[in-house]
């Protein structure tokens, strides 16, 4: 049996992600993306909207569903690693392995046999997530916190983001949960629009220091 290669170090992973961004978006856009991220981490305070969704009220999904969604397990980590490389986020490999080890839950979306995105979540029985304290969220028995949601650019459009959330909400309700918590940055207008369409309400607004939700 051969051992799998160790995950790249932090600097090597950052370099790989920058190269990926250059290939995918061009040098100018890649430099802007990296520059904005660096400036935000050093100076900006994050304005966060804390979201709350009652799972008793789930708007219908699109009639022509294109995504297939399943519970995310350790068996998906290899294909998620390939997805992370394609989406210029190789550093997510370590993060996702840690999520599985801690007992966090997730959903994975496919379209046409390809990974299209992921959604991670915890409940009150899962080891406490570090976001909850700075966000001021205290999970009750039938509460869930969704903390990492991505749909790749190639699979966006046509209502797919809303479709993915519909799958997630419906599956969580079927598991017996009643309320879903999350957050979105005030400046992320596309995400705010999708959450609004899905019926999420803003519970409160917070201003957090850089890195508070790492």
pLDDT digits (tens, 9 = 90+) for 137-185: 999 999 999 999 999 988 988 899 999 999 999 999 999 999 999 999 9
What is the predicted pLDDT for the residue at 65?
87
Give 22's Cβ-side CA count (13 Å radius). 8
Tell me: do 95 and 141 sit in the same domain: yes
Tell me: do 106 and 189 sit in the same domain: yes
What is the predicted pLDDT for the residue at 9?
60
Distance CA 93, CA 1 (A): 22
What is the predicted pLDDT for the residue at 12?
60
Is 213 part of a structural domain of the chain?
no
User: pTM of the predicted model, to two decimals?
Assistant: 0.83
- Tell me the residue range of the domain where 89 lies: 45-208
Region of 103 (left: φ > 0; alpha: ψ -120 to 50; beta: rest) is left
Tell me: do 137 and 157 sit in the same domain: yes
Tell me: do 24 and 80 sit in the same domain: no
Residue 55 φ then ψ, to 5°: -75, -5
């Amino acid at each position: 049996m051969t051992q799998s290669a160790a995950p790249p170090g932090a600097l090597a992973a950052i370099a790989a992600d920058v190269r990926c961004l250059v290939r995918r978006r061009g040098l100018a856009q890649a430099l802007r993306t990296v520059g904005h991220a660096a400036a935000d981490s050093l100076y900006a305070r994050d304005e966060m909207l804390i979201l709350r969704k009652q799972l008793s009220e789930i708007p219908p999904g699109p009639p022509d569903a294109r995504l297939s969604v399943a519970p995310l397990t350790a068996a998906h980590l290899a294909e998620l690693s390939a997805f992370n490389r394609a989406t210029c986020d190789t550093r997510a490999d370590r993060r996702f392995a840690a999520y599985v080890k801690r007992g966090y839950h997730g959903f994975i979306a496919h379209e046409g046999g390809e990974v299209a995105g992921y959604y991670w979540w915890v409940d009150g029985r899962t080891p406490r997530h570090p976001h909850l304290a700075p966000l001021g969220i205290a999970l009750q028995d039938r509460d869930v916190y969704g903390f990492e949601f991505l749909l790749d650019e190639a699979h966006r459009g046509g209502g797919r983001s809303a479709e993915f959330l519909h799958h997630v909400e419906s599956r969580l309700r079927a598991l017996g949960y009643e309320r879903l918590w999350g957050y979105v940055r005030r400046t992320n207008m596309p995400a705010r629009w999708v959450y609004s369409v899905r019926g999420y309400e803003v519970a409160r607004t917070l201003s957090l220091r850089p890195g508070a939700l790492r």
